Chains A and B, each alone.
Chain A
Amino acid sequence: MSTDMIAEARERLLARAKREGLSTVGYDVIDSPIGPLWVALGPKGVAAISFGREPGEPELRRLVRLFGPGIIPDRRRAAPAARELDQYFEGRRHSFDIPFDLRGITPFQARVLRTTSRIRYGELMTYAAVAHKAGNDRASRATGAAVGANPIPIVVPCHRVVASDGTLGGYGGGLDAKRYLLAIERTEVPTGGWPKRGS
């Protein structure tokens, strides 16, 4: 019994599942310079990106809540997102054309992440500024939590959100990954971030 045999059988199984409307989300694990990424495509575009080979608990719960259990491995379906991510990592893509689907999160988190999604390539915004733009000046900490729980990192560029003192803040994929992404966009990132302005 070879792996090919299984792969071919799986292809045909997935085609049938799709024809029967049993498949709602297709995912694939793609390799990237910051490690494997679990990428899931739903009916309205990229529904989730997780660091690693499988989604985290809350992420999977959100997807199942939104789309039911029909979440299946589907390389072909995930391919457009994989292609754009590859181009991004090669520095050849500055914005993503593929739509993303931020449903299944709180209205506050959605506002924060929509603001985050408008930060342009190579630019930075502080958590406080994101909180302000999202309409709640005083919710800086909650903004940090909302950014940290971003279900679609990279495409929704939460790595461009940093702390007011110039340090990098946090990142779901680890600070090395955040530094790497910023370095793609800005050529060089000091370890730990940037020195505080005026210091």
Chain B
Amino acid sequence: MREATLRATAARTFGELLERHEREIFAYALRLTGSRHDAEDLYQETFLAAFRAWPPPHRDNERAWLYRIATNKAIDRTRRRRATVSVDDLRLAAPERDGVTVLDLANAIRLLPAGQRAAFVLRAVEGRPYREIALTLECTEEAARTRVSDAMKKVRAAMR
């Protein structure tokens, strides 16, 4: 297994991209979804989206690009399923108040701009360290903290 982070050049073929990153993207998908079945779907959707959107937008940043696709796909999936199963996870992030439903929270998250939404899900749902969130969202750690904090404020305000 080659060290993806050591590669300075962008993948030239789908195969290169896949061989460099499929393990970590699958692992990420497993952590995001919590089930093998959903992780496999997310892994597939991520790479198919990457293939369709070829080439990677940043020469040295294909890894972050893939993480971003995976993150956004995961958010889309969560949104699609919000009335059924996955929203259970979101309950963890809900403030304890009477009359606030998981659906309210999902709706509040949906109103967030994409960058804040990803930051919120990564932090509040997945509990990922800011260092990793910054990498995923291609921003500084400080910016990641700001995004999470702004998102939290908006979500709280929306649910008041």
Residues of A within 8 A of B (CB): 1, 5-6, 8-10, 12-13, 16-17, 20, 22-23, 27, 60, 63-64, 69-73
B150 at the interface (CB under 8 A from A): no
A16 interface neighbour in B19, B48, B54, Cβ under 8 Å: B48
A70 interface neighbour in B43, B51, B55, Cβ under 8 Å: B51
CA distance A158 to B18 in the complex (A): 32
State whether A20 touches B48 (Cβ < 8 A). Answer: yes
State whether B51 touches A17 (Cβ < 8 A). Answer: yes
State whether A13 touches B47 (Cβ < 8 A). Answer: yes
* Besides A1-B30, A6-B26, 20 new A-B residue pairs in contact (Cβ under 8 A), listed by A number: A5-B26, A5-B36, A5-B40, A6-B22, A9-B26, A9-B40, A9-B44, A10-B22, A13-B44, A16-B48, A17-B48, A20-B48, A23-B14, A63-B13, A69-B12, A69-B54, A69-B55, A71-B14, A72-B14, A73-B19
Name A's interface SS: helix
B97 at the interface (CB under 8 A from A): no
CA distance A73 to B36 in the complex (A): 22
Contacts A5-B36, A9-B43, A13-B43; A22 near B51 (Cβ below 8 A): yes
B27 at the interface (CB under 8 A from A): yes
B18 interface neighbour in A1, A5, A73, Cβ under 8 Å: A73
Residues in chain B near residue A71, CB distance under 8 A: 13-15
CA distance A71 to B43 in the complex (A): 18
A-B CB contacts (within 8 Å), total count: 64
Residues in chain B near residue A63, CB distance under 8 A: 13
B90 smallest CB distance to A (angstroms)? 25
Residues in chain B near residue A23, CB distance under 8 A: 14
Contacts A9-B44, A17-B51; A70 near B14 (Cβ below 8 A): yes
B52 at the interface (CB under 8 A from A): yes
State whether B15 touches A73 (Cβ < 8 A). Answer: yes
* Binary CB contact string for chain B from 33 to 58 against chain A (1 if under 8 A, 0 otherwise): 00010011001100110011011000
Interface centre among B15, B18, B19, B22 (most CB of A within 10 A): B15
Contacts A17-B51, A69-B54; A12 near B13 (Cβ below 8 A): no
CA distance A152 to B15 in the complex (A): 20
Q: Which single residue of chain B is at the shortest CB-CB distance from A57?
A: B12
State whether A10 touches B15 (Cβ < 8 A). Answer: no
Residues in chain B near residue A20, CB distance under 8 A: 48, 52
Residues in chain B near residue A16, CB distance under 8 A: 44, 48
Interface centre among A1, A9, A17, A63 (most CB of B within 10 A): A9
**What are 5 pairs between A and B in contact, CB < 8 Å?**
A1-B27, A5-B40, A13-B44, A60-B13, A72-B15
Residues in chain B near residue A9, CB distance under 8 A: 22, 26, 39-40, 43-44
Q: Which single residue of chain A is at the shortest CB-CB distance from B19?
A: A73
A13 interface neighbour in B39, B48, B55, Cβ under 8 Å: B48
Residues in chain B near residue A60, CB distance under 8 A: 12-13
